[in-house]
Structures are given as structure tokens and as C-alpha cells.
Amino acid sequence: MIKRICATLSLLFTLLFTNIALAQEAAWIQVEALQTLRVAEASVRARSGGPDAVAGFTIAGGWYAVALGPYTHADAQTRMQALKAEGTIPSDAFIMFSSQYSRQFWPVGASALTSTPTALPETGTEVVSEAVTEPVDNGITEVVAPPTPPETKAQARASERTLGRDARMELQRVLEWEGFYRSGIDGAFGPGTRKAMAEYQASLGYDATGILTTRQRAELLANYQAVIDSLGLQVVRDERAGIEVAMPTAMVGFGRYEAPFAHYDSKNNSGVRVVLISQTGDQNTLFGLYDILQTLEIVPLNGERQRGNKDFTLTGSDDDISSHTYVRLVDGAVKGFTLIWPAGGDERRREMALSQMKASFNSVADVALADNAGLDEAVQSLDLLSGLEIRRPSISRSGFYVDLNGSVLTTSAAIAGCQRITIDEVYEASVAGENSELGLAVLQPAERLAPLVVAKFLTHDPRLQSDIAVAGYPFEGALSAPTLTFGKLADLKGLGGEENLTRLNLRAEDGNAGGPVLDSGGAVLGMLLSRGTNEGRQLPQDVNFAADAGSIAAFLAESGITATATDAEASMNPVEMSAMAANMTVLVSCWN
């Protein structure tokens, strides 16, 4: 009996002294216990800026606590009662002490557990004392935080009132990024913000009250922070390029210099790339770069182009990538960047990365990439420009001028299914007429051209076995000028007796199709057809066919073009014919 009394007195003294010790420690009002660090961090940020200091700690069971303080024990009781009366904190918030928390995760770099208790914020709320229970089991304390019940609308509004202007603006920015908010970022929660909040709540199945609860704000901010973390957005200062810009460093890393570019290559299989552009120069340099960049694969054809006197923007997308290029004239140099993002990637993450890059882009004065930067290590290739792949057409064929306005006759096979057609890879053109049965098409350039030589079509039948030549681009533009391929006129009709064809005995390449067939005096006998015209036949390589002059003249007339005729039978030496053909023959390119 005496032993039992002694044990009971010992336990009472232990509890008494434990409570006295706790009462002397800094006290905290624990308002939330959350299961993930990101959500807890978002909740802490959402509460920052209010009248009460906020901190975050890890607690038993792998949870994360959000707490207000520190206060003295008495002040903590007083403040907790006032906040509950206002509905600012959950009704089940309770008192904790510094010794009951372990590692601190917020604020970063400070030691809130050892800080001095702060004075209470001024308030007119009458205080009603409330008993506080500190769970103690033989001197070992284990805290298991209960789940926080949903806030009422009044509690959510009261909690919202504690937010500072910066926290309110952040919520608007995140709602804007989520696609719900469409007004100015001003920190004022007007009708536009309320509507955005209600739409956000409805999208997740919450009651669309237009007032976010503490937990809903935390979830919203946590999702946004998770995207930022996945991008690894950090300001990168490239000293050699003289550029400072925020980059998604979790997705790209520095690769190499190849003037005028600094390449930041994809990492972690992200498919994302960044190219910094840095080159000394003036407005002529800027305008030249505007044209050059559009010949590269990193700037798809489909997209908006904007060029001012001191800057330009290029956007584009295709089946493989989306890209955005911004370049400006600054500090006596041309500087900018291109963000290349894989097609089908997270578009919201791309928009966030692009937004941060545009907002942070800055030139480091008097510094630009040297003209020879990286050239010693660069891979030399006709298909590359400073390490970037030059865009190539899907196919290229030949064509030739048929009037003084620059109209071009070519093979219909050259323009089938093209998104864009060019003449000599410079001049945009459109289809003015087509006859797929004859294999003919006529192109109209977007701007009027002034050809030096126009085709003159022979009005009578040429002699069989006479010398002929085809002018064209056999290697589809690999050579800068057309070449002549010589042969013989084998027959005035096709193998099946077709009257609109002539058969040629010469060895032609695919790129020659659409080129003019010339007699020895330079008169046009016809147009070389694609070998695809003879599908189902395995013909020798030196057997080719041409649309004859008569069918071409009739086709041009249907397209509103009068063919120039000649009956002259003259003779030219190869040098003269080559010069004439070069001025008449063009490269026709199909781009997709």
C-alpha cells in the first residue's frame, strides 16, 4: 500500500514539473498538420504577411506542422482564443511548445525555435481562458495531429483577411497561370478574382464560394510550386555571351559555343533546348539574323513573325517542336534567345518557363560572344549553321520562266501537298494552274520578278535523234546553279503512242524534273516529266519523257499566260547555252 502511494506521488510530481517546464518554454499555436512538405510550404507562404509570425516544423509521424508564434504560454492562449473567435484559424488549433517540435523547414535560414516570444498583436477581443492539454506519457510526448476540418465560408473569409498584399498578388498570378484569372495583378480581390476562385473551386469539385479556404490556397500554391521545382528555374549568367536570363536548369545545361550561339542542350531526356544569341552588330546585323534564323529547323514555318526597328520575335510549331525566339539590339550588339520545347510537352510548363525567360532577359553591357567562339571545336557540315540544323525542303525540282512577270512552269509532282512553295528558296510562290494528267503546274511568285530570259517554245517538230539538253537541278539545290544534261531526241511520242509526249534518250536525276528541254539553238521543245509519271514500268535510267511544246502552250493559255513562240533553228555553243539556261531555269522547292 505504501509503495503504491509513493509511486502515485512520484507520478504526480513528474507531471507537475513537466508542465511547469513546458509553461516556461516558448509556445506556438499549431493551426495545421499536413502530410507533404510542398503543401506545408505553400500553406506557410499563404499565411505569411499577416499580423502573426508563421513557422513550419516537422513533427512525429512524418507530418509537417504550421504554427503561429512564438509567444509566452499565457499569450499563446490569449491569441489562440481571439483567432478562433474571428474564425481565422481552425477551431481545433491547439498549443504546442518548442521542445515538442523537431526540425524547422520555415523560415529558411532562421532558428525560430530559439527566438524570443513576441508580443501579442493589438486586438480588442475579450479573452476567455481556455484549458490546454499537453499529452504526456511517462515523460515521453508523441504528437499525432488530427486532420483539420473544412473551414466554413466565414472562417475562410477571416483567414483570407490575414493575407498581405504580396500573398494576394501571388494568388492572382497562380490563378492566372491556371487559366482562371484574366484581370490585372493588383492584390485586390474584386469580382474578377472572386470569379476566378469560384471557377478554380468548381474545377476540383469544391463548393464554388469564390473564397478559397486555407487548405485550398495551400493546394493551389503547392501545385504551382511543384511546377517551378520541376523546371528548376534559375537565373543563368553567361559571361561570354553577355546575357543574363532565367532558364529551366532542370531541363537544360550548357553544351558549347558556336558563334553567334551559345547552346544549352537538353538534359534528363526533357527534349527542351535553349539557344542564346549574342553578336556584335547594328540594325543590318539584326535584320540579317531575322532572315537567317527563319532558315533553321528550330524556327518552324508555321508561326507569327514580328520585326521592329530594334527587335524581332519569331514563333513557330510543327509536329516536333514549339519554339519562341526573341532578339533585340542592345549595348552595340544583337542579343536574344530561343526556347525550343518538344511538341506534346506540358504546355503550361512551357508558358511558365517562357514567361520567366522573357521577364528576366538582360544584357550584360559591353560583352558579346566573339565571332570565332567555339569554331575550333565546331562540326563542319553543309546542313548546319553554327551547330543548328538548316531547314531543308521536302523535295526540290526544276522549273523555268515562261513570261516576263516571273511565272514559272514546273512539274505538278513538285508542288503536291506543299505547305509552302519557293522559287530559288527565296521567293514565295503559289499555284496559278495545274494539270496533273499532263504533269504540269504553273507558279505565280508573290512579288513580281523580272527574269533575264523567258522560254521560247519551238513551233514545229524537231528532228529525231537531234541533240537536246535538259537544264535543271539534278542534286536538288546542292549546287547553286543549274546544270545541263545532254542527250538525244528518241521519239516524238510516248511508248504508248501518246501525242503529247516526247521520248528522250538521256540520263536524268529526279531533281531535273520540271526543267526545260532545249534544242541545239536554245529553243524549248518541252518540259522534262518526273519518272513517277510512268508508274508500273521499270524503264532503263536513260529513258525519260517530256511534255511537248504544243501541250504546254495550250496549258499556259488556260492559265492566262501566252507562250512565246519561235521557229528558229539556230546553234549555240555549250557555254552560251549554259549561260542562257542559268538565267531561265529556277529551283522549285516544296516545304512542309
In this predicted structure, what is the pLDDT of residue 375?
60
In a domain, 296, yes or no: yes
Whether 236 is in a domain gets the answer no
pTM for the structure as a whole: 0.52
1 in any annotated domain: no
Q: Residue 3 falls within a domain, yes or no?
A: no
Q: What is the pLDDT of residues 408-453, one digit of tens each?
A: 999 998 988 888 899 988 888 999 999 988 999 999 999 888 899 9
Question: Which residues are CB-neighbours of 254 under 8 A, at least 6 positions away?
Answer: 238, 262, 263, 264, 265
410 and 383 inside one domain: no
Residues 403 and 525 in one domain: yes
d(CA 309, CA 307): 7
Domain boundary among the residues 132, 149, 166 is at 149
b (16+ CB within 10 A) / e for 5-18: eeeeeeeeeeeeee
The whole-angstrom separation of Cα 60 and Cα 316 is 52
> Are 62 and 122 members of one domain?
yes
% of residues, the chain, pLDDT over 90? 39
The owner of cell 501545385 is 223
Give DSSP secondary structure letters for 217-284: HHHHHHHHHHHHHHHTEEEEEETTTTEEEEEETTTEEEEEEETTEEEEEE-TT---EEEEEEEE--HH
Per-residue pLDDT band for 12 (boundaries 50, 70, 90) equals very low
Domain tally, the chain: 4
Say which CATH number the domain at 329 has. 3.40.1000
- Say which DSSP state 466 is in: -
What pLDDT score was predicted for residue 131?
37
Indicate whether 7 belongs to any domain: no
- Residues 107, 184, single domain; the answer is no
Residues 418 and 451 placed together within one structural domain of the fold: yes
Q: Does 192 reside within a domain?
A: yes
Task: Give start and end residues of each alpha helix (H) in 87-213.
Answer: 153-161, 165-177, 191-203
What is the C-alpha to C-alpha distance for residues 472 and 270, in angstroms, rounded to an integer?
Answer: 43
| Cα 100 from chain centroid (whole Å) | 48
Same domain, 43 and 66: yes
Q: Which domain holds residue 447?
A: 392-592
Helix (H, G, I), strand (E, B) or coil at 457: strand
Residues 138 and 190 occupy one common structural domain: no
Name the residue with cell 510550386: 225
334, 353, 388 - which closes a domain: 388
- On whether both 553 and 414 belong to a single domain, the answer is yes
3-state secondary structure of 73: helix
Among residues 170, 197, 231, the one where a domain terminates is 231
Share of the chain above pLDDT 70, in %: 85
- Residue 519 is assigned to a structural domain of this protein: yes
Query: Which residues, at least 6 apart from 453, have a Cβ–Cβ distance to it below 8 Å?
Result: 401, 580, 583, 584
- Domain contains 2: no
461 & 486 share domain: yes
What phi, psi does 422 have (nearest 5°)? -130, 155
Lookup: cell for 576: 552560251
Q: Are residues 461 and 543 in the same domain?
A: yes
Q: What mean pLDDT comes out for the span 514-526?
A: 93
Statement to judge: residues 141 and 52 lie in one domain: yes
Based on the domain organization, do 381 and 430 belong to the same domain? no
Read off the pLDDT of residues 543-568 as tens digits, 9 standing for 90 and up.
Answer: 999 999 999 999 999 999 999 998 87
CA-to-CA distance for 383 and 345, rounded, in angstroms? 27
CATH of the domain at 457: 2.40.10.120
